[in-house]
Amino acid sequence: MIKDLLEDDVLKSHSTPIALNQKEDLDENLSEGDITFMKSLWVGRFAGFGGGSKKNGDANTRRDRQTNNKASTRKDSQLTIHRMSMAVACTIPPPPCGATLATTATWTTRKVTVGDPAITKNSNAYKMCTDWIRAPAGKIVQIRVTELQGVNCIRGCWVHAIEPKIDSDKKLTNARYCCPADLKRILPSRINPTPVVSYSIRRAATFTYQYRHV
């Protein structure tokens, strides 16, 4: 869609062979998603508009042409900025899943669904959701997984899993949970805040866990 809009805009905005060259460049670069090229094209278009008129003709004609040029430049600038916003919006990924949650002295329940409900086979990449559990200073975060829905219980928990990262080194892989036998174990964390990461490489799965501080 963006490619068609930009091609149409380029062709309508120029009457010189430059427009055709830009269209060829557009075909080549947009297929690669090169937003930098697109920005440089727009900058070039800004530079190509406006300016003075030719010296022939009387002063009124020159003034009219200059006024029209400024109006055209202003209108085209607004259109270009709008289209640039559309292009950039299409390249921004959706906001990450997850939340920052504050503990209390009693258990609080959190339910997280992660994965693609439209697929039954493995996806090309994991869907992930990360919560950060924050306790008051001097308190210890505790986590316990209480329920699994649509989760494959498989060795290594590589299809679906929930991983409370309770070790002090967050770069380490902690125990991942995907089986009913793992439920309701109280896991004391060594770090505050504590990340809780849910994974799925297949269909959507729902993890329910609780958190508190002691």
Q: What is the DSSP string of 103-143?
A: --SS-EEEEEEES-TT-SS--SS-EEEEEEEE--TT--EEE
Residue 43 has pLDDT above 60, yes or no: no
Strand-strand pairing, 100-102 and 127-134: parallel
Residue whose token pair is 């297929």: 31
CA distance 190 to 75: 58
User: Is there a cis peptide before residue 164, judged by omega within 30 degrees of 0?
Assistant: no
CA distance 131 to 143: 12
Residue whose token pair is 């958190």: 211
Residue 63: per-residue pLDDT: 59
Residue 69 carries which side chain, given as an amino acid letter? N
HSE-CB at 87 with a 13 A cutoff on CA atoms is 21
Residue 9: per-residue pLDDT: 44
Lowest mean pLDDT among 49-53, 90-94, 151-155, 175-179: 49-53
Q: What would the pLDDT profile of 107-117 be if each residue is shown by its tens digit?
A: 999 999 998 87
CATH architecture for the domain at 100-213: Sandwich (2.60)
Q: What would the pLDDT profile of 164-179 be if each residue is shown by its tens digit?
A: 999 988 788 899 999 9
CA distance 57 to 202: 71
CA distance 194 to 140: 10
* CATH 2.60.120.290 in the chain, residue ranges: 100-213
DSSP string, 62-92: HHHHHHHHHHHHHHHHHHHHHHHHHHHHHHS
Phi, psi (degrees; rounded to nearest 5) at 102: -95, 135
CA distance 164 to 31: 41
**Bridge partners of residue 164, in order along the sequence:** 196
pTM value > 0.75: no
